[in-house]
């Protein structure tokens, strides 16, 4: 059995669906993980947003950033990608993430000027990741 399955080849926001609900609880009162709630919040917030038409929002278990839940990974062809974390699974966090993603989609190589960053993503970047067949030079 393979650990991998096909996903979008285009720009994608990949959400860890197993991240904790909080520092004290893995799941909310309904038994749902924080990461699954984050995925739901992002899907809801993206509805009808034309800026995100080419974006796939996908989910997978554990991005290995568990201590900084909730975690997401942004990636796309020819663009620098990012892992972000330390989000609460809320509509407000989802909106900030998607406002950032909209600017990232418009960028040539995945670099969004800091002045365009929504407040809600500042302090949430964990690592940047080079796209396939590229490395970053500065
Ligand atoms: S459970 Fe979400 S990064 Fe590990």
On whether the 12-129 domain is CATH 3.40.190.10, my answer is no
- Per domain, the residue ranges of the chain are 12-129
* pLDDT at residue 115, as a whole number: 98
Kindly state if the Cβ of 60 falls inside 6 Å of ligand 1: no
Q: Is the peptide bond before 19 cis (omega within 30 degrees of 0)?
A: no
* pLDDT at residue 137, as a whole number: 96
Give 67 Cα–ligand 1 centroid separation in angstroms: 7
Kindly state if the Cβ of 15 falls inside 6 Å of ligand 1: no
Give 37 Cα–ligand 1 centroid separation in angstroms: 13
Q: How many CA atoms lie within 13 A of 54 on its CB side?
A: 12
Instruction: Give the position, in ligand 1's atom list, of the atom nearest the Cα of 63.
Output: 3
The reported pTM is: 0.97
Show the tokens assigned to 105: 């989609």
* pLDDT at residue 21, as a whole number: 97
| Cα–Cα distance for residue pair 95/30, rounded to 1 Å | 23
Query: pLDDT below 50 — which residues of the chain?
Result: none
Of 87, 98, 95, 84, give the one whose Cα is nearest residue 55: 98
């Amino acid at each position: 059995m393979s650990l991998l399955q096909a996903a979008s080849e285009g720009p994608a926001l990949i959400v860890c669906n197993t991240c904790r609900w909080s520092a004290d609880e893995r799941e909310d009162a309904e038994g749902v993980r924080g990461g699954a709630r984050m995925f739901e919040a992002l899907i809801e917030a993206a509805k009808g947003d034309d800026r995100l038409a080419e974006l796939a929002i996908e989910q997978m278990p554990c991005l290995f950033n568990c201590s900084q839940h909730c975690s997401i990974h942004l990636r796309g062809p020819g663009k620098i990608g990012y892992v972000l974390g330390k989000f609460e699974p809320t509509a407000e966090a989802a909106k900030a993430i998607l406002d950032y993603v909209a600017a990232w989609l418009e960028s040539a190589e995945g670099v969004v000027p800091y002045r365009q960053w929504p407040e809600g993503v500042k302090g949430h970047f964990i690592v940047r990741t080079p796209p396939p067949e590229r490395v970053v030079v500065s």
